[in-house]
A = this chain, B = another copy of it.
């Protein structure tokens, strides 16, 4: 029986993969993914057919996955982190419905980048939080801007994916400007680059200073709420226990 699984391989190291993800890859015939994610799991995929494609080829990857499965193959489409968070799970399901393909599609969740980044910072996500991507590749900037505004107004902890890319550097500064209208300048901000990967860096700064940091598309930025503290290099958002 053929199937497709959208498999989350975790943020980077094999240590943070789940057993379910490892098993799914072990049982499949074909592994499809973005080139650098295939690289992350190269020891697991030695005897598999591998289809790796570059960035922004997501639709193509899913179409190949559906084709291969229709040919009778067991297919894993791998995403770093969790395939359900800015990953490949949605696109796979959308395409299977659009093309009326009736095949079992399972989503194998993973430790997402934001969970990994938070763990390295201490405990910034202990209270209500919003996750926002600043990439305007698929979403109008006005929508993103409005979400930043409302999340800041609601005193959410805000986790930012894709803060900057090579072509797009000004959005992050604008996002910080908006957050500064609702959050204190000394609000702790965590900046994690390459979480759980080679070149990992972790630092805690403040909302008024974060634009000085070296931020790129491998970075997750986590902005605290009004109670978040920064101590001993850790960022901690209290849950509210009386101590």
Residues in B whose Cβ lies below 8 Å from that of A139: 127-128, 240
> What 0/1 readout, one digit per residue, does chain A (134-159) give for beta carbons within 8 Å of chain B?
00001100011011011101111000
Pair A232/B15 contact, Cβ less than 8 Å: no
> What 0/1 readout, one digit per residue, does chain A (52-73) give for beta carbons within 8 Å of chain B?
0000001100000000000000
Most buried by B among A19, A87, A239: A239
| Chain B CB within 8 A of A10 CB | yes
Pair A90/B154 contact, Cβ less than 8 Å: no
Residues in B whose Cβ lies below 8 Å from that of A156: 130, 147, 151
Residues in B whose Cβ lies below 8 Å from that of A92: 123
Q: Nearest Cβ distance between residue A143 and chain B, in whole angstroms?
A: 7
Q: How far is the CA of A236 from the CA of B90 in the complex (A)?
A: 6
> What 0/1 readout, one digit per residue, does chain A (39-61) give for beta carbons within 8 Å of chain B?
00000000000000000001100
Question: Which of A26-34, A102-110, A165-173, A206-214 faces chain B?
Answer: A102-110
Q: How far is the CA of A19 from the CA of B108 in the complex (A)?
A: 16
Q: How far is the CA of A182 from the CA of B94 in the complex (A)?
A: 25
Pair A97/B231 contact, Cβ less than 8 Å: yes
Residues in B whose Cβ lies below 8 Å from that of A122: 89-90, 93, 107
User: Quick one: which of B15, B23, B82, B234 contacts A20, CB cutoff 8 A?
Assistant: B15
Apart from the given pairs A15-B18, A16-B18, 12 other A-B contacts in the complex at a CB distance below 8 Å: A17-B18, A59-B243, A83-B119, A84-B123, A90-B239, A93-B123, A97-B236, A107-B120, A110-B111, A128-B130, A147-B154, A151-B151
